[in-house]
Amino acid sequence: MSTRILNLELGARSYPIRIGSGLLRDPVSYQLLRGRRAMLVTDENVAQHHLDSVLHALKLPRDQALVLKAGESQKSWEQAGEVLDWMLASRLSRDGALIALGGGVIGDLAGFCASLYQRGIDFVQLPTTLLAQVDSSVGGKTAVNHPRGKNLIGAFHQPIAVVADTDTLATLPPRELRAGLAEVIKYGLLADPILFGWLEKNLDRILALESQFIAETIERCCAIKARIVGLDERESVSGGPRALLNLGHTFGHAIETFTGYSEWLHGEAVAAGMCMAADLSHRMGWIKAVELERATRLLGRVGLPTSPPDGMTPEGFRDLMGLDKKVKGGKLRLVLLRSIGEAVLTADFDEGALHATLEKFCNAGPAHAFAVSI
Residues annotated in a binding site? 104-108, 128-129, 141, 150, 168-171, 183, 249, 266
Question: Can you tell me the distance from the alpha carbon of 239 to that of 37, in angstroms, rounded to the nearest whole number?
Answer: 40
Please list, in sequence order, all residues whose beta carbon lies within 8 angstroms of the beta carbon of residue 204, skipping any fewer than 6 positions away: none
Please list, in sequence order, all residues whose beta carbon lies within 8 angstroms of the beta carbon of residue 46, skipping any fewer than 6 positions away: 70, 101, 102, 103, 106, 128
Burial class of residue 374, CB neighbours in 10 A (0-12, 13-18, 19+): middle
Check the CA dihedral 73-22-36-49 and report its sign. Answer: positive
**Cβ pair 175, 265 in contact under 8 A:** yes
Question: Can you tell me the distance from the alpha carbon of 346 to that of 179, in angstroms, rounded to the nearest whole number?
Answer: 26
Q: Which residues carry a binding-site annotation for NAD(+)?
A: 104-108, 128-129, 141, 150, 168-171
Q: Which residues carry a binding-site annotation for Zn(2+)?
A: 183, 249, 266
Please list, in sequence order, all residues whose beta carbon lies within 8 angstroms of the beta carbon of residue 45, skipping any fewer than 6 positions away: 70
Question: Can you tell me the distance from the alpha carbon of 181 to that of 184, in angstroms, rounded to the nearest whole number?
Answer: 5
First-to-last C-alpha distance (Å) of the chain: 29
Give the closest residue to 2 by CA, choosing from 226, 271, 211, 194.
211
Question: Can you tell me the distance from the alpha carbon of 107 to that of 83, in angstroms, rounded to the nearest whole number?
Answer: 13
Q: What angle do CA 188, 172, 367 make, to 5 degrees?
A: 65
What φ, ψ does residue 130 adopt, rounded to 5°? -65, -40
